[in-house]
Structure 1
Amino acid sequence: MNATPPLKLILGSSSVYRRELLDRLRLNYSVESPQVDETPFAHERPADLAIRLALAKACAVATKFPAAVVIGSDQVADLDGEPLGKPGSHARAVVQLQRMRGRTVVFQTAVAVVCLGTGFSQHALAPVRVTFRDLTDEEIENYLLAEQPYDCAGSAKSEGLGISLLESIESDDPTALIGLPLIRTSAMLRSAGISLLHRRTAP
């Protein structure tokens, strides 16, 4: 009897950070850019925005590859209910960090796993509470010039020099702040039929 072929896995993201994180699971996967409009709706809460975009990214790629299991993810920095996205420039990053210094920001990181062929669809939110130090303007400028995190929500890379900007991080899924909550992602992949810890036999 022929064995059932393994499900194809696709990461629906153009983020190099999410690729680096997914690599930790040692899975075979491909990458597709989802091409989704990330403009927030009027009065949309940051958590709702992150979930909507994660699902939209997964579904956009799943529509092209209906037999595949697709991962979509999104992160929105939540400053007292206001969504803060990727700064995109030095000037906007300065403003973001000035607004966040001495305050606690919730990084709303959402992940969705979708397979249209099997009808599977799950999503989860992994909020991360991050408290910033009361940074000086000089510290902000020096940090941005050193790391240039203009493609990161919240204008800081916690996996790099950006950790020096922080007082504390509170999360139950350690990789969520970098952009992909691997504990939640692993659980959904198992539910979707992707084996993470299977025994590899010699050819």
Structure 2
Amino acid sequence: MNIILASTSVSRKKILEKFLIPFECVAPNCDETPLMNESAPELVLRLSQIKAQSVAQQYPHHLVIGSDQVGVLDGQIIGKPHTIEKAIEQLHNSSGKTVDFYTGLCVIHRHSQQITTICEPFKVKFRTLSCAEIESYVVKELPLQCAGSFKCDELGITLFDKLEGDDINTLVGLPLIKLNKIMINMGFNPLLLS
């Protein structure tokens, strides 16, 4: 079975490697601009599906996995900071607050005409962080391509008071427990693939 992760994210690649199955990464070709009045769950559902579909068109006999993630702080969608200054700003704004993260997942197998799309929530309660802690963290880890400006599977774990969700992998960017269930339902059990 040929499996493709429709992503160039190093974090998502590391997560999918936990299944110990062969797969390749292919960059999706899509516009990630949010639509007017689009909620965070609607955005990640739409983008994960667009990413998976853009790759599935090129690989109709492969199982294609697409994912997208955003956070919501004080009613505003936050994404990847891209710059050190923006990362510091995001963490200052998150300090002492709870941020809701939404991770979209879409799995497509065009050959059997199967498609499943879900949205997984995850809550992060940040500690009250000092300016020195925030700046030190951002310089050490450079979480510039991470929604919310942290890498929870690395040093970013030191920023939190509490995490609430079914699967820590969801917060990293790929809900592995749900992905496993979807793949099994589609006839591709990771434990039985080689």
TM-score by length of 2: 0.96
User: 2-side partners of 1:39 and 1:199: how far apart?
Assistant: 36
Q: Which residue of 1 aligns with 2:166?
A: 172
Q: Which amino acid aligns with 2:20?
A: R
The question of 1:157 aligning with 2:151 is answered: yes
Counterparts of 2:167 and 2:193 in 1: how far apart (Å)? 26
Matched, 1:8 2:15: no
Q: How far, CA to CA, are the matches of 1:37 and 1:199 in structure 2?
A: 33
- 1:76-109, Cα deviation, whole Å (9 max, x unpaired): 0111332111000001111111111111001101
**Secondary structure of 1:134's aligned partner:** coil
Q: 1:85 is matched with which residue? A: 79
- 2:93: which partner in 1? 99
- Structure 1: segments with no counterpart, 5+ residues: 1-6
**What are the Cα deviations for residues 55-87 of structure 1, in whole angstroms up to 9, with x where unaligned?**
111101001111111000011011133211100
Q: Of 121, 129, 132, which aligns to 1:135? A: 129
AA in 2 matched with 1:158? C
Q: Which whole-Å CA distance do the structure 2 matches of 1:46 and 1:12 have between them?
A: 20
Alignment of 1:1-203 (within 5 A): 7-198=1-192
Please identify which structure carries the higher helix content.
2
Contact 1:62 1:68 in 2 (8 A): yes
**Pairwise CA distance, 1:36:** 1.6
1:126 and 1:173 in contact (8 A); partners too: no
**Partner SS state of residue 191, structure 2:** coil
In the aligned structure 2, how far is the partner of 1:17 from the partner of 1:159? 9
Unmatched segments (≥5 aa) in structure 2: none
- In the TM superposition, structure 1's runs of 4+ consecutive aligned residues that sit over 6 Å from their partners are none
Q: Which residue identity is paired with 2:98? A: T
Q: How many residues align?
A: 194
Contact 2:4 2:62 in 1 (8 A): yes
Deviation for aligned residue 1:174: 2.3
Residues 199/130 of structure 1: CA separation in 2 closer, same or farther (3 Å cut): closer
Q: What SS class does the counterpart of residue 37 from structure 2 fall into?
A: coil
